[in-house]
Amino acid sequence: MWHNVWSMVHLKGFATRNNLLEHRRLLSLINSMADGVIAVDEHSRVALYNASALNLLDLNTDIQNQPLVDVVKIYDKAKVEIDLQKLIDSAKTPVSSRDYLLHYNDSSEANLYLSIAPVHLGYGQAGQRGYVLVLRDITKEKSLEEEKDEFISVVSHELRTPVTIAEGSVSNVEFILDKTGDISDLKEALKQAHVQLIFLSELINDLATLSRAERGRLIVDVTAINAHDIIDGLVKSYEPEVKAKGLQLNTDIDPHLEVLYSSELYVKEILQNFITNALKYTSKGQITICAKQIKDGIEFQVSDTGIGISKSDQDKIFQKFYRSEDYRTRETKGTGLGLYVTKKLADLINAKITLDSELNKGSTFKISIPNIKKLQS
């Protein structure tokens, strides 16, 4: 196909053998480029193009000599078509932009990098003027950039409140000590600062796990896990908090649980996230931890009698930074990262999470964890 396309290219000044050789070299060079390249003549008709350009434009026809504006249609973010001819006419020196969009027939779109450079197509001779357009699909880069921007804005927003409160509380302490010397007010100011600093350290921990998970840096260290021991440990560590909130913590564990082959660290971290949430979003009643043997491993379950999760929120709570709009959720501190990280860890150990919840009744988070050794064999 390339032979056909390029053989149709008409460039002046290829009379000698050397020029012909150079021309072929140029063609094979352009053909090997991943970027789309289109050269147009002074009347903005296509004089040269490569396969990447056709791919990007989703065309499978010969575009030789066609008016560029018929072949390439670009849009801005507001979906308004850009006047490409005007862009070309104003390109006295090379210009480029990363803000254009291409629309496809199946109504999908791609972010486009486009550069336009005025050139002489006369190949070293005083000849025809024209323009070379370079086109690149930058959809992936753009979405990463957007995600990064969103991440930075959410994190800085999340950090601002606790840092301001902690700073205010500490400065209050200084003020009280300086002016009144009365230490009874100190306790409240220090408590406030402490709460905010705990939140900040949780946020930083979540972010650190998240960044390791996203970079694929987490290693699954498979060991033989005794689920009874894990649950006993969790119950011991959560009991004081459960009591302080006037709740009950129950367990319902299959006495015939087999050894589980998985990552003890991630299994613990996942269950901890479920229990921490159950505690956070339950003001009366009980939290129950269950474990039962399933065919390929163990199914754990953490149920609570808390505020519950609406159907529409159930689809969203595993998303990064998502927190329910429910005022009762907003009364508690949280990063909206816990379940997102939990899902990432679950994926790493091939575990499946299911959620059953009813608003104002309570929630049950289930996770079935397979034996990794059995899976691999």
128 binds ligand ADP (CB under 6 A): no
338 binds ligand ADP (CB under 6 A): yes
Q: Which residue lies nearer to ligand ADP by CB, 19 or 286?
A: 286
The amino acid that residue 96 corresponds to is S
309 binds ligand ADP (CB under 6 A): yes
Of 307, 345, 346, 372, which one interacts with ligand ADP (CB under 6 A)? 307
329 binds ligand ADP (CB under 6 A): yes
Contact positions with ligand ADP (CB under 6 A) in 243-282: 277-278, 280-281
Range in contact with ligand ADP (rule: CB under 6 A) among 55-63, 120-128, 137-145, 319-327: 319-327
Contact positions with ligand ADP (CB under 6 A) in 132-161: none
Least spacing, CB of residue 363 vs ligand ADP, in Å: 4
Of 100, 266, 300, 340, which one interacts with ligand ADP (CB under 6 A)? 340
Least spacing, CB of residue 288 vs ligand ADP, in Å: 12
> Pairing state of beta strands 46-49 and 286-294?
unpaired
370 binds ligand ADP (CB under 6 A): no
**In the numeric block, which tokens belong to residue 229?**
């021991």
323 binds ligand ADP (CB under 6 A): yes
Of 36, 130, 297, 334, which one interacts with ligand ADP (CB under 6 A)? 334
- 62 burial level (CB within 10 Å; 0-12, 13-18, 19+): middle
Let me know: does 283 contact 348? Beta carbons within 8 Å. no
30 binds ligand ADP (CB under 6 A): no
Least spacing, CB of residue 138 vs ligand ADP, in Å: 31
339 binds ligand ADP (CB under 6 A): yes
336 binds ligand ADP (CB under 6 A): yes
55 binds ligand ADP (CB under 6 A): no
In the block, residue with structure tokens 């299959």: 254
Q: Which residue lies nearer to ligand ADP by CB, 128 or 357?
A: 357
Least spacing, CB of residue 50 vs ligand ADP, in Å: 47
Q: How many binding residues for ligand ADP (CB under 6 A)?
A: 21
Which residues, at least 6 apart from 361, have a Cβ–Cβ distance to it below 8 Å?
Answer: 305, 308
Least spacing, CB of residue 234 vs ligand ADP, in Å: 15
The amino acid that residue 1 corresponds to is M
Range in contact with ligand ADP (rule: CB under 6 A) among 31-39, 81-89, 180-188, 304-312: 304-312
Please give the span between the terminal C-alpha atoms of the chain, in angstroms, as a whole number. Answer: 48
209 binds ligand ADP (CB under 6 A): no
Q: Which residue lies nearer to ligand ADP by CB, 55 or 314?
A: 314
Residues at the site binding ligand ADP, with contacts judged by CB under 6 A: 277-278, 280-281, 304, 306-307, 309, 317, 322-324, 329, 334-340, 363
